[in-house]
Amino acid sequence: MLQDHADQQMRPGLQAGRGVPAGAPEHAHQAADLAAANDTDIPDAESGRSLVGLTARFAANFVRWMEGRTCDGLSYSRLRLLQALHCDGPAIMRDLGEQLGATPRNMTALVDALEDAQLVVRRPHPTDRRATLIELSEAGAQAAELALEPRLDAMAELFGSLSAPERAQFSALIVKLTLAMGSGRGKC
């Protein structure tokens, strides 16, 4: 929805004078948006809107791309949860959610799905009656040992198309933008 809104807001201004005909393939629009984002003659507001659209499209495409590389129902989110439990041991859902950046609702869905797949189990917390520990089952521990690194490595291959300096720059920019989002800047 936000992506569509950003596209609708951007497209008319970006297509005008850029030679992108109506009905052109999506990559033609993305190229025009990228050119607009890099064009120093365009006001900062329009350049910023171009970056919003590019980022929204990248994020949506990246999530679809990652989800398309799942096997046995192990999405990236589920792999990360297995990884957290494998590396750090049992944890309560709230702590896992904070670590993974997932909402309580999404964490419940993730844990439910992995519990249905018999990869995690819920156990009573030894000192807090209100809390439940999430831990890897035996099958979950085996899946983590066998699947985590190869699957994450396969997803990481996308970034092989970037040079080492480009990867470093991309990483630094992602961290900078993530920190800016956390600071509350850009609120309506």
Regions of the chain with pLDDT less than 50:
1-21, 28, 36-37
Predicted local confidence at residue 40, as pLDDT: 53
Structural domains present in the chain: 1-67 (no CATH), 76-152 (1.10.10.10)
Predicted local confidence at residue 185, as pLDDT: 56
Predicted local confidence at residue 1, as pLDDT: 40
Write down the residue that tokens 């933008």 correspond to: 177
- CA angle, residues 18, 23, 28, in degrees to nearest 5: 45
134 phi/psi in degrees, rounded to 5: -110, 130
Predicted local confidence at residue 113, as pLDDT: 92
Predicted local confidence at residue 72, as pLDDT: 63
